[in-house]
Structure 1
Amino acid sequence: MVQTKGLEGVVATTSSVSSIIDDVLTYRGYNVDDLTDSAQFEEVIYLLWFNKLPTSQQLAEFKSELIENVYLPIELLNIIEKLSKENTHPMSILMNCVSALAIYDEETNQMSEGANYRKSLRLQGKLASIVAAYSRIREGKQPLIPKEDLSFAGNILYMLNGEIPDKISEKAFNKALILHADHELNASTFTARVCVATLSDMYSGITAALGALKGPLHGGANESVMKMLAEINDITQVDSYLHKAFENKEKIMGFGHRVYKTGDPRAKHLREMSRQLAKVTGEEKWYYMSLAIEKIVTNEKGLLPNVDFYSASVYHSLGIQHDLFTPIFAISRVSGWIAHILEQYENNRLIRPRAEYVGLKNQTFIPIQERDESMDVIA
């Protein structure tokens, strides 16, 4: 039986959602560089779900449908308020809230194409509202409703910070959302597909994906990067901090990737966004510290930054609280999760791999009385 640790290099399914070929990331055949430079995040969601880019009319209708689905049931706001008083990680709250959404959706267990599309809209819109509502409620503020004249990216920043974002911030966040939208068969996407392959509902699939994303080796990496930057705090301390970490064989978060060999193509976009936002906010130290860290880690360890490394300073510059970095990642990635879930439903087969057994063999069962007697003799 062929086996590989962590399923590295194993092709588990076919998919037309996204691809990573020769270190080029594409969504439905479109290079992510082109989408990041020119598209709106709403266009990318549409592309992932419908396998085509929308016309102007289709995009306008789609934006309207998304806005209609951001509002949260009052019962869910009560849950958020209660949980916000506990010392709970925002990802745990997001997982609980998404799971609870299934209770308030009459179409949860309906599997028609129309029902699944409507659930997709609800999940895409409501994830953003959950994160923003939690952020404000725990600060003693009222949740905000979105503005129809703002983009999806602009509305998230508005609902989080209570201010209309400037054009540079809105543009930068739009790019970040596009870059995080999908990434082939990553851990959380695979988890979502395994879950719904049992014909479980979409809310269960997204909740399962959130659980996988929460880990520091996946979506939680950007939060760890910002924690490292905060600990260093000054560019003069970068060298000593890193070399101490090297000596202790500590992992430097935000570097390296199992799939990419010549570097994560998303990192260059986030590096430039970090540079631009640093100038706007006047907090350029985070950008220059990141540059210094990248230079040392790349030169001495041969590791290149991945999407998580510069997204940390980008999110920080946008005024996003550090423990919300992974939930913000989820607001984007849910678009890809949904695309994969819909694809799984279309041509479903239960995902059930095998494991190579390496445990003890030919064991002889000893009745419990004899086991007790033998222990007495030993004693």
Structure 2
Amino acid sequence: MADATDEQIQIHRGLNGVYFDRSDVCFIDGRLGELRYRGYSIHDLAERSTFEETAYLLFYGDLPTSDERAKFDRELRDARVLPASALDVIRAVKDAHPMEVLRTAVSALGASDPEVDDKSAEANLRKAIRLTSQVPMLVAAHHRIRQGLEPVSPDPSLGHAANFLWMVKGERPSEDAAALMDMDFILHAEHGANASSFTARVVAGTDANLHAAVTSAVAALSGPSHGGAAENVMKMAMEIAAPERAAEWVKSKRANREPIMGFGHRVYRTEDPRARHMREGVRRLSREMGQPKWYAILEAVVESMKPYARLGVNVNVDFYAGVVYYLHGIPD
């Protein structure tokens, strides 16, 4: 077969429109704004499930029975252990950006995991469960260490999201705060072949171990066009500073053809179905934390962006997520 000529080659920038696999894990309809995990609507999971149940669903394909849920909870809680070497790495690079620290620390976990080179499906599942517990612990430990504080030991009586907040702040979160973080974890748990997931699959396809694949995913997630979006929304809110300034700020940015952080999506042509679930939680949390202005600023930006919604520039999940992290004292 003759080689294709330059005129015959079609380049798909960003792999847009390229299909490379089928998935039973996630379904996305960008035109209708629909997202499902294993056949379950994201709306039902966000409103009625917990992160632990959702993680089980993604790992095993079905929601757990009560006995399966109890066993899975124990596995997650038993995995709340960080090797000393990972903490040493965090201390050594504590002044770096949190995503760079997380990438390095995940790699360090692989260096000390006894099953790192066992690539069987069973071993990979065990490692995935361990990483599910360990990654938020790495984030919390770095947050404490860079403030000159000692990491907080996990509390086995707390669920996944509540324990993360406990380890970040050293105090038990309110039920509302824990529920909102739990929902945030659910909404970000799966999204098909996004940049970080695709990167992990490419690396796993070379027969690299699971920790190497996850390390590469974190590296992709660190990009400002991917995981960095939530951080940039908070920077935007700080720059606007007051709700009454939002309209003029948006007008100026649009006139200069600059993007508005937290708006638009590569897949969704309508509002991101995850965004609405964060909105009410952010309103309550900002009041609870005595900082209602951040919610007011975000809503003023949403109002100012309404004329652009017909062009497909709608609010996405990162628009509200950045404020959640900021209110919990996690600035970036």
Structure 2 counterpart of 1:236: 244
Whole-angstrom CA distance in 1 between matches of 2:85 and 2:201: 29
Structure 1 counterpart of 2:260: 252
Q: Runs in 1 of length 4+ with deviation above 4 angstroms?
A: none
Structure 2 counterpart of 1:195: 203
The CA deviation at 1:148 is: 1.6
Give, as a single letter, the amino acid of the residue that structure 2 aligns with 1:276. R
Structure 1 counterpart of 2:78: 68
Whole-angstrom CA distance in 2 between matches of 1:251 and 1:286: 20
Deviation string, structure 1 residues 332-371 (Cα, Å, up to 9, x no partner): xxxxxxxxxxxxxxxxxxxxxxxxxxxxxxxxxxxxxxxx
Q: Is the 8 A contact 1:41 1:175 kept in 2?
A: yes
Q: Is the 8 A contact 1:71 1:145 kept in 2?
A: no
2:97 pairs with one of 81, 89, 95: 89
Give, as a single letter, the amino acid of the residue that structure 1 aligns with 2:235. K
Deviation string, structure 1 residues 24-47 (Cα, Å, up to 9, x no partner): 100000001000001110001110
Structure 1 counterpart of 2:6: none
Structure 2 counterpart of 1:308: 318
Give, as a single letter, the amino acid of the residue that structure 2 aligns with 1:233. A
Q: Is the 8 A contact 2:89 2:104 kept in 1?
A: no
Whole-angstrom CA distance in 2 between matches of 1:152 and 1:48: 16
The CA deviation at 1:133 is: 0.6
Structure 2 counterpart of 1:52: 62
Deviation string, structure 1 residues 37-67 (Cα, Å, up to 9, x no partner): 0111000111000001111111111111111
Structure 2 counterpart of 1:34: 44
5+ residue gaps in structure 1? 324-379
2:188 pairs with one of 180, 189, 193: 180
Q: Is the 8 A contact 1:70 1:128 kept in 2?
A: no
Q: Is the 8 A contact 2:119 2:210 kept in 1?
A: no
TM value normalised by structure 2: 0.93
5+ residue gaps in structure 2? 1-8
Q: Is the 8 A contact 1:238 1:289 kept in 2?
A: yes
Structure 2 counterpart of 1:80: 90
Give, as a single letter, the amino acid of the residue that structure 2 aligns with 1:285. K
Whole-angstrom CA distance in 2 between matches of 1:298 and 1:193: 37
Structure number with higher relative contact order (C-alpha < 8 Å, ≥ 6 residues apart): 1
Fraction of identical pairs, as percent: 41
- The reply to whether residue 129 of structure 1 matches residue 140 of structure 2 is no
- The reply to whether residue 293 of structure 1 matches residue 301 of structure 2 is yes
Whole-angstrom CA distance in 2 between matches of 1:129 and 1:282: 27
Please say which of residues 262-271 and 275-284 is displaced more in the overlay: 275-284
Structure with bigger gyration radius: 1
1:163 pairs with one of 160, 171, 175: 171
Whole-angstrom CA distance in 2 between matches of 1:149 and 1:221: 33
The CA deviation at 1:310 is: 1.2
The CA deviation at 1:300 is: 4.1
**RMSD of Structure 2 on Structure 1 (CA):** 1.3
